[in-house]
Structure 1
Amino acid sequence: MERIVYVNGAYVPESEAKVSVFDRGFLFADAVYEVTSVLDGRLIDNAGHIARLERSCRELEIKMPVTAEELTSIQLALIEKNKLVEGGVYLQLTRGNEGDRDFSYGDAIEPTLVLFTQAKKLIDSPKVQSGIKVISFDDIRWRRRDIKTTSLLPACLAKHAAHAAGADDVWLLENGYVTEGGSSNAYIITQEGTLVTRPLSNDILHGITRAALMKLAQETGLKIEERLFTLEEAMQAKEAFISSATTFVWPVVAIDDQPIGNGQPGPMALKLRDIYIQTAKACA
């Protein structure tokens, strides 16, 4: 069955979906996006994703063409129309199209809103059992990584380099410190059992899954330190893992071919993943 997608107020088959070649999202990556995971046909942490979308729009002065309530209704309609049980809903909002290519833009421009679903296994991902291997890679992104824009070429290049090296993903480095993964937040568990992750700032994306995990980790009594950490410290850690909307938590078992801990998925990462999924399903 051909997917039904949403484009500027209309639900259409994906083969009929069209956006102007003059859209600023296409020409300049002048756009923001969100991905909300779906479990059992229900949206996970969606209020957080919409709140972050609204913040991204405020930072870039992009108009929201619909309310948060209307946006949720569109997402739910797509889930129903595409009979999505597990996967995600992708949302992209561009500044719009003024009819030609020009770096500057006017205030009257109308935004372009596109949404579509993606069916994929989130719970039974093989990466949970095997863990993932990452390589270190220079962080060459712009300095407003807290805004979730579609300007993802640096991440694409980094992930391509990882796959070429036989790894699954990257951990990005800036001034000797880990910022985050290719499309995820990064964490380590020290030998003393402390959860360490980089503090929120313009240097990293303010992950919605990250926020939920930090709260759950605190509730389990895990000691938490939000601070910078080096690649060398990560390599000496007891465990390492990533989090994102569609991975939830994936253990990291090797960095630059050096095993982390015993080279197997760590128990704390797997515990936090299980707790997160149980909580997310209960609150969906």
Structure 2
Amino acid sequence: MENHTESTTVSHSSSELGNHSDLTVHVFNSSSELLEKLHQRWSTVEKKPYPAMYSSIYGGIILDPAMMVIPIDDHMVHRGHGVFDTAIILDGYLYELDVHLDRILRSAAKAKISLPFPQSTLRSILIQLTAVSKCKKGTLRYWLSAGPGNFLLSSSGCPTPAFYAVVIDDDFSQCKEGVKVITSTVAMKPPLFATMKNVNYLPNVLSVMEAEEKGAFASIWVDEAGYIAEGPNVNVAFITKEKELLMPLFDSILHGCTAKRLLELAPRLVEQGILKGVTIKNVTVEEAKGAAEMMYVGSTLPLLPIIMWDDQPIGKGQVGELTMALSDLLWNDMVAGPDTKRIPVPYIE
């Protein structure tokens, strides 16, 4: 009986090998051949979605999308040892670049990633990259990595950290339609990782996929104490029935730059008598679901109305007036805010 089992196993294994005996993996013997293959992917693309990339590994700006690559032994790739941030490009201006730059430096410090350049140099690179891209509307995303070097856990063998950035052409607009959300069953990140914007976004990805599988747009994380935390890559805010703007504490979640700007601008509506007040505190699920209005807060939205949560309407189940008043406040700041928030991009026509 034992011999029969062994014989069957060997036979099965041989059969599997036979099924793939005609497979020959191609070997690229020259860089020119490989480059030709890489270009095939982009040969039918009419408009490049990524008009420009910067790589400190290359030491410059890349315009060929086929060459916008990162070394496989970069520790950000195989160990997740990297942080990132973003900025909005709108009407030829970079919105809140300095605030986002400050945050990526804080994230890098928490992740024990040293800087390849001073902050002023990083800023200059990003502005020049945007100018070369000629993109007038989109997003600028950038990463600080422990860098390439080997496949170990420790980055001590990496000669130098790396800085990457890419311009993404994106015709976004102010969100005015409401969406449905669910409570995520995916475990949220612990505070150490949630408060730094690192590249370990698998929980975020799974929470969005879970929502999509249930016919929702995205999800809401609730912490172990039963308080509202955040969305998968956005903050969340509420309008109470007393017309008060309510946001969860940022102690254990990412303090979004757009959320921070919203809190700076919202008092204007209080002064006008439109809002009753602004409060940041622990928010229970019961309190949140009993709100009159609810919204996501994030860079390109800038506010996304939420009209239903776990198949339960929020308020009247419609986009709220105060949500849109706050959204208009943020959008106008993006379009025509102060010079301290909007950096003109020096395009070369």
* TM-score under structure 1 length normalisation: 0.93
Partner Cα separation in structure 1 for residue 158 and residue 76 of structure 2: 16
Q: Which residue of 2 aligns with 1:4?
A: 52
Question: Counterpart in 2 of 1:199?
Answer: 249
Q: Where does residue 153 of structure 2 map in the other structure?
A: 103
1-structure distance, mates of 2:288, 2:190 = 24
Counterpart contact for 1:37–1:89, Cα < 8 Å: yes
Question: What amino acid is the match of 1:167?
Answer: A
Alignment-mate amino acid for residue 211 of structure 2: A
The corresponding residue for 1:34 is 85
Alpha-carbon distance in structure 2 between the residues aligned to 1:39 and 1:187:
24
Return the alpha-carbon distance in structure 2 between the equivalents of residues 92 and 73 of structure 1.
15
Give runs of aligned pairs for residues 1-284 of structure 1, distance below 5 A. Answer: 1-2=47-48, 3-8=51-56, 9-12=59-62, 13-98=64-149, 100-106=150-156, 109-124=159-174, 128-138=175-185, 139-144=187-192, 145-175=194-224, 176-201=226-251, 203-221=252-270, 222=275, 223-281=277-335, 282-283=337-338, 284=342
For 2:191, what is the secondary structure of its paired residue?
Answer: coil
Contact 2:239 2:246 in 1 (8 A): yes
**8 A contact 1:37–1:44 mirrored in 2:** yes
Write out per-residue CA displacement over residues 224-248 of structure 1, whole angstroms, 9 at most, x where no aligned residue: 2211112222221100011111221
In structure 1, C-alpha distance between the alignment counterparts of 2:317 and 2:244, rounded to whole Å: 19
% identical aligned pairs: 26
**Which whole-Å deviations, capped at 9, do the CAs of 1:104-147 have from their partners, x for residues lacking one?**
232864112111111223324xxx23212111013432332111
Residue 186 of structure 1: CA displacement? 0.7
Contact 1:216 1:275 in 2 (8 A): yes
Q: How many residues align?
A: 279
Aligned mates of 2:261, 2:312 — CA distance in 1: 29
Comparing 72-81 with 57-66, which one deviates more in the overlay?
A: 72-81
Supply the distance in 2 between the matched residues of 1:163 and 1:81 (Cα, whole angstroms): 37
3-state SS of the aligned residue for 2:222?
Answer: strand
Asked if the contact 1:179/1:198 (under 8 Å) is kept, the reply is yes
Deviation at 1:272, TM superposition (A): 0.9
Q: Which moved more, 1:157-166 or 1:191-200?
A: 191-200
Say which SS state the counterpart of residue 230 (structure 2) adopts. strand
1:193 positional shift? 1.2
Q: Which has the larger radius of gyration?
A: 2
Gaps of 5+ in 1: none
> Runs ≥4 in structure 1, deviation > 6 angstroms?
none
Q: Within 2, Cα distance between the matches of 1:119 and 1:264? A: 31
Note the alpha carbon deviations across 1:246-267, whole angstroms, 9 max, x for none: 2211111110111111111111
Which amino acid is 2:184 matched to?
F
Alignment TM-score, normalising by the size of structure 2: 0.76
RMSD (CA atoms): 1.6
Alpha carbons 1:95, 1:109 under 8 Å: kept: no
